[in-house]
């Protein structure tokens, strides 16, 4: 078990630190090696994804990733933007399938923004395509128009093979769940998404046992808020998936609860909390480490086929929630407010019990 630890920026090192305590307990044989990425990569080696970090990523079986980004990220030119370290890693390793489960822990029902009956029993997966779309499409850049104004432009681009592989990933995932796939697009407006829908429909015929539906992103957003339990696997493009999964976080109480797995052509995966670096709360020991710990559970299951260990970790998270431990993002009166370290320690304690 060779695992690269890329804690990154902001709260990344704090939450990954807790996941590492859990890893040491459940898989003491795991070999880990740390590498800088994001602003940490720029500080150490002058690049958001240093060559040594990428080389390590290629050597290992799995990557435990924290978060990247700084407070004024959007104002930094792209080549020096810390967040590009993560995008480059996803592209270099062809990690195209980003599984973002949104699961309602019964203890957190009161923390959801929706009524209890709407979210009780919620269990869905948003499958976000990670290697295409406006995030990578070319041409992109800035130009000056005939009026002398600056114009910014990006290209929404998907090839048939890119849509096919994410479609297969969605149908395969649905077969292990409730056999329903909802493909989310904007095929009424965008050519890219017209192709997306055609390919999804074509691939869907190979999985007659899985029910396929289609929704436009606007309608999907509404349905996710109104009746999220109708969904099983939602498959969508890079940008829509990014937005929709953050929205889904509010159903489950907090983005601090959402883990993710980014998988490619082999079992190598990158596992990271859905949340970003949250510079405003970094270094204060208040961030929720449970998304990082649950991401570790996904790693044990997907990259190492250690289903029992994965379940142990997930059960330990359930136990600490049942015991009333809460970081600030999921705190409710009557529960016990703890910091990042204490929450990590509580999970370790639950695993030892
Ligand atoms: N752990 C997730 C993270 O660090 N996200 C920051 C980021 O740059 N995300 C870009 C994206 O996912 O689209």
Mean pLDDT along residues 126-148:
96
- What is the CATH number for 171? 3.40.718.10
Contact (CB, 8 A) for 92 and 54: yes
| Same-domain check for residues 240 and 266 | no
| Same-domain check for residues 282 and 330 | yes
Mean pLDDT along residues 317-332:
96
| Same-domain check for residues 58 and 124 | no
Mean pLDDT along residues 106-111:
91
C-alpha count within 13 angstroms, C-beta hemisphere, residue 267: 14
Q: Which of the two residues, 21 and 111, has the higher pLDDT score?
A: 21
The binding site for substrate comprises 90, 100, 128, 218
Average pLDDT, the chain: 96
Report which ligand 1 atom has the smallest distance to the Cα of 82: 8
Residues framing ligand 1 (Cβ under 6 A): 67-69, 83, 86, 242, 272-273, 275-277
Can you list the alpha helix ranges (DSSP code H) found in 176-306? 191-204, 217-226, 238-252, 290-302
What is the longest distance spanned by two Cα atoms in the chain? Answer: 70
- What pLDDT sits at residue 93? 96
**pLDDT-derived band of residue 110, with 50, 70 and 90 as boundaries?**
confident
| Same-domain check for residues 129 and 221 | yes
Pairing type for strands 269-273 and 62-67 reads: parallel
| Same-domain check for residues 171 and 76 | no
DSSP one-letter string for 80-131: G-TTHHHHHHHHHTT--EEEEEEE--GGGGGGSSS-HHHHTT-EEEEEEE-S
| Gap from CA of 272 to ligand 1 centroid (Å) | 9
- What pLDDT sits at residue 71? 92
Report which ligand 1 atom has the smallest distance to the Cα of 73: 8
| Same-domain check for residues 117 and 218 | yes
Using the Cα atoms of residue 284, residue 285, residue 286 and residue 287 in order, give the sign of their dihedral.
positive
Can you list the alpha helix ranges (DSSP code H) found in the chain? 12-26, 39-45, 51-59, 84-92, 116-119, 160-175, 191-204, 217-226, 238-252, 290-302, 307-322, 340-352
Within a domain: 108: no
Tens-digit pLDDT profile for residues 64-104: 999 999 999 989 988 889 999 999 999 999 999 999 999 99
121-125, 144-148, 229-233, 250-254, range with the lowest pLDDT: 250-254
- DSSP bridge pairs for 211: 180
Q: For residue 343, what are its two tokens?
A: 């929450």
Instruction: Assess whether pLDDT exceeds 90 at residue 226.
Output: yes
Within a domain: 158: yes
Catalytic residue among 133, 242, 268, 309: 242
| Same-domain check for residues 137 and 17 | no
Range of the domain at 209: 113-252
Give yes or no: 135 in active site: yes
Q: Which of the two residues, 74 and 241, has the higher pLDDT score?
A: 241
Tens-digit pLDDT profile for residues 22-37: 999 999 999 999 999 9
Contact (CB, 8 A) for 121 and 145: no
Q: Which of 214, 169, 209, 207 is nearest to 193 (CA)?
A: 214
- What pLDDT sits at residue 348? 98
- What pLDDT sits at residue 113? 86
Total domains present in the chain: 2
Single residue among 226, 252, 278 that ends a domain in this structure: 252
Give yes or no: 47 in active site: no
Record the pTM: 0.95
Tell which one of 6, 40, 63, 68 to mutate to probe ligand 1, the residue whose CB is within 8 A of the most ligand atoms: 68
| Same-domain check for residues 228 and 129 | yes
196-205, 235-244, 247-256, range with the lowest pLDDT: 247-256
Single residue among 229, 252, 275 that ends a domain in this structure: 252
Instruction: Assess whether pLDDT exceeds 80 at residue 267.
Output: no
| Same-domain check for residues 268 and 313 | yes
Burial code (b: 16+ CB inside 10 Å, e: under 16) for 175-199 equals eeeeebbbbbbbbeeeebbebbbeb
Instruction: Assess whether pLDDT exceeds 80 at residue 180.
Output: yes
Give yes or no: 229 in active site: no
Q: For residue 201, what are its two tokens?
A: 């429909």
C-alpha count within 13 angstroms, C-beta hemisphere, residue 28: 1
- What pLDDT sits at residue 168? 98
Give yes or no: 345 in active site: no
- Whose alpha carbon is nearest atom 4 of ligand 1? 67
- Whose alpha carbon is nearest atom 8 of ligand 1? 83
- What pLDDT sits at residue 33? 98
Within a domain: 266: yes
| Same-domain check for residues 264 and 202 | no
| Gap from CA of 131 to ligand 1 centroid (Å) | 13
- What pLDDT sits at residue 249? 85
| Same-domain check for residues 159 and 220 | yes
Q: For residue 263, what are its two tokens?
A: 């998988």
Catalytic residue among 61, 123, 246, 345: 246
| Same-domain check for residues 235 and 122 | yes
Within a domain: 6: yes
For 282, list phi and psi in degrees, rounded to 5: -65, 145
**pLDDT-derived band of residue 274, with 50, 70 and 90 as boundaries?**
very high
Please enumerate in sequence order all residues whose Cβ is within 8 A of that of 268, keeping only pairs 6 or more positions apart, or say none.
60, 61, 62, 63, 93, 303
């Amino acid at each position: 078990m060779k695992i690269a630890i890329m804690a990154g920026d902001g709260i990344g090192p704090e939450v990954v630190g807790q996941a590492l305590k859990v890893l040491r307990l459940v898989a003491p044989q795991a070999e880990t090696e740390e590498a800088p990425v994001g602003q940490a990569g720029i500080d150490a080696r002058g690049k958001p994804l240093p060559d040594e970090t990428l080389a390590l990523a290629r050597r290992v079986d799995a990557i435990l990733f924290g978060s990247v980004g700084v407070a004024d990220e959007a104002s930094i030119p792209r080549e020096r933007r810390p967040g590009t370290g993560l995008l480059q890693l996803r592209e270099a390793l062809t990690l195209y399938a980003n599984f973002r489960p949104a699961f309602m822990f019964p203890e957190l029902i009161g923390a959801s923004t929706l009524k209890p009956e709407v979210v009780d029993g919620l269990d869905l997966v948003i499958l976000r395509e990670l290697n295409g779309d406006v995030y990578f499409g070319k041409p992109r850049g800035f130009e000056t128009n005939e009026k002398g104004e600056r114009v910014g432009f990006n290209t929404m681009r998907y090839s048939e093979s890119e849509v096919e592989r994410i479609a297969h990933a969605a149908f395969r995932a649905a077969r292990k769940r409730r056999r329903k796939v909802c493909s989310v697009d904007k095929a009424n407006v965008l050519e890219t998404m017209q192709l997306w829908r055609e390919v999804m429909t074509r691939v869907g015929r190979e999985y007659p046992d899985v029910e396929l539906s289609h929704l436009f992103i606007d309608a999907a957003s509404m349905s996710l808020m109104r009746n999220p339990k109708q969904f099983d696997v939602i498959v969508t493009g890079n940008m829509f998936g990014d937005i929709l999964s953050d929205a889904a976080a509010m159903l489950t109480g907090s983005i601090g609860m959402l883990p993710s797995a980014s998988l490619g052509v082999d079992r190598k995966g990158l596992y990271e909390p859905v949340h970003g670096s949250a510079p405003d709360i970094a270094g204060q020991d208040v961030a929720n480490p449970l998304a990082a710990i649950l991401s570790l559970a996904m790693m044990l299951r997907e990259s190492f086929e250690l289903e029992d260990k994965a379940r142990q970790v997930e059960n330990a998270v359930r136990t600490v929630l049942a015991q009333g431990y809460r970081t600030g993002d999921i705190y409710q009166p009557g529960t016990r407010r703890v910091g990042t370290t204490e929450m990590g320690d509580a999970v370790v304690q639950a695993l030892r019990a």
